[in-house]
Structure 1
Amino acid sequence: MLSKAVIKYINSLQIKKYRNLHQAFVVEGAKSVRELLASDLEIEKLFLTEDFLQKHSDALRKGLPYELVTEKELVQAGTYESNNAGLAIAKTRTLPALKVSENELIIALDDIRDPGNLGTIIRIADWYGIKRIVCSETCADFYNPKVIAATMGSFTRVSAYYVNLPEFLSSLPSGFAVYGAAMDGENIHKLNLKPEGVLIMGNEANGLRPETREHLTSLIKIPGFGQAESLNVATATAIIVDNFFRQVS
């Protein structure tokens, strides 16, 4: 049975200040908990239902303690409206220094505020084998429960660095390709793109900030053929990233 103190602790981790304080975050649901168990992330606490154990006992780490709880307790403690599987408290990663390579593609996000968009972009990065994304300091928090949920487990394989984005871009080697997605960019269908450099996606409402645009080497866009005014930023990220990988066999 979950104690009041544990429930209070789990609830506190829905707030960024307390995630930073405890260097911990919450993972909920069967898919995400299984991905967490298969990762190298440290698990502080693990709460599972009988149903999860019956279906996924092989996913448990050897020697990792857990507590049996009910679905009602998981819903009371977490953010899901229903959860008949599990909930874990995991420790946040300590990341190595951010160093870029000329032969990798990095997704950079300029003021992406919606947690669902960030989580989906992390999942997109994982699909294409992109291990790191760079976020401006005003982006949604990587460990926000809504972000973690939207990644569908990809949070275990993709890391996010929060930086002063213009300063990061200015520190890149001379000649490093920096692409910015914008409506006034060049048609990506007419470009021979390779999965190298930095691709910057801008804010959901306002696009790229002027101070970010100053560091671009290319502006690119997705050509439209219908009447929609714009695309969701996560959808646009998927389309553009796919074009970078079109020439990869």
Structure 2
Amino acid sequence: MSHPEINTIVRIISDIFARRFLKELKYLSQKYIISMVSKNQIKLITSLQQKKFRQANGLFLAEGIKVIGELLQSDFELEHLYETEAIFGNVASDKKTLVSENDLKKISALTSHNNCLALFKIPQPGRISQSGLIAALDDIRDPGNLGTIIRLCDWFGITQVVCSMETADLYNPKTIQATMGSIARVKVDFTDLKTFLKHTTLPVFGTFMDGRNIYEETLPKEGIVVFGNEANGISKAVEALVTTKISIPRFGQLQKTESLNVAAAAAIIFSEFSRRK
């Protein structure tokens, strides 16, 4: 083979590799370039702070690498992920955009901002479990309390929470944040609580100030534990369906504390049920 022919082959091969290199370079530059969040995107994302828009779009917000990471490893389906340079590349997905910290602040629902925000699809409700220990929430209004109770359920191995229709929205950003990712492992359903309790075959425990001392009560492995509204407790209609009233005794000498926060009470009661297994 003559020198001119060799030079031609070398030039062709060089051109091929050069084109491939430029193609890869273009892809990487597009992949890691900071994108502006459009007005329409901002409008959609900020609207998801309200329940009616979450329902209309079938989407909810999650913020922070811990919460988002847990959701990505679960059955929740990612719609889109927005990340800053600080953590970009930690999550392998083609449904993500690199954004500036300033843009992320614009779309964040939290006062303390994170390095990432994601939109997830709201799943269709499934069948409510009728086995094991179940937490039932009667008109819990504070999203932080709801999220904390879900996190406590995850800690104590309780996988089912049943909420009255009046209970705070599961997909409120404050609820999601308070779960710290436990929403990925605890199934939460909203239903007519009275109908659910009326048809269950499990024993129903209700938390009351004048209930039986939980430390002296016989506690089964399976059952439903009902927690009431922060201000008014368990409603009269639900109270009528409770088979056993339980209470956490006060040990303080002055005993001036009126009651425990519902999430604090849930932690104590879940702990005692778990200890008896």
Letter in 1 for 2:104: L
The one of 146, 163, 166 equivalent to 1:135 is 163
Q: Contact 2:88 / 2:98 at 8 angstroms: preserved in 1?
A: no
SS at match of 2:157: coil
TM-score, normalised via structure 1 length: 0.92
Amino acid at match of 1:204: E
Q: Which one of 199, 219, 229 corresponds to residue 245 of structure 2?
A: 219
Query: 1:76: which partner in 2?
Result: 106
Name the structure 2 match of 1:204.
230
DSSP-derived class of the 2:88 partner: helix
Q: Are the counterparts in 2 of residues 112 and 138 from structure 1 also a CA contact under 8 Å? A: yes
How much does 1:53 deviate?
2.5
SS of 2:87's equivalent? Answer: helix
8 Å CA contact 1:75–1:82 kept in 2: the answer is no
* CA–CA distance in structure 2, aligned partners of residues 207 and 9 of structure 1: 36
Question: With CA pairs under 8 Å and 6+ residues apart, which has the higher RCO, 1 or 2?
Answer: 1
1:17 maps to 52
CA offset at residue 231 of structure 1? 0.3
Distance 2:207 2:177 in 1: 26
Superposed displacement of residue 171, structure 1: 1.1
Q: Distance in 2 between matches of 1:18 and 1:33?
A: 21
Which one has the largest radius of gyration?
A: 2
Query: Is this contact kept in 2: 1:193–1:245, CA < 8 A?
Result: no
Q: CA deviation at 1:82?
A: 3.4
What is the CA-CA distance between 1:159 and the residue it aligns to?
1.9
Structure 2: any 5+ residue segments left out of the alignment?
1-35
Partner of 2:139: 111
TM-score of the superposition, structure 2-length normalised?
0.83
Q: Aligned equivalents of 1:122 and 1:138: distance in 2?
A: 17
Q: Report the alpha carbon displacement of residue 99 of structure 1 after superposing the two structures with TM.
A: 3.7
Shift of 1:203: 0.4
SS of corresponding position for 2:86: helix
In structure 2, distance between residues paired with 1:218 and 1:121? 21
Size of the alignment, in residue pairs? 239
Given that 2:211 and 2:247 are in contact with CA atoms closer than 8 Å, whether structure 1 keeps it comes out as yes
- Structure-2 residue corresponding to 1:231: 260
What residue number does 1:149 align with? 177
Q: Distance in 2 between matches of 1:122 and 1:36?
A: 14
Query: Is 1:85–2:110 an aligned residue pair?
Result: no
Q: Return structure 1 stretches of 4+ with deviation > 6 angstroms.
A: none
Distance 2:75 2:200 in 1: 30
1:189 is paired with a residue whose SS is coil
Q: State whether residues 13 and 24 of structure 1, in contact with CA within 8 Å, keep that contact through their aligned partners in structure 2.
A: yes
Q: Would you say the 8 A contact 2:205–2:245 is kept in 1?
A: yes
Aligned counterpart in structure 1 of residue 269 of structure 2, from 237, 240, 244: 240
Equivalent residue, structure 1, for 2:209: 183
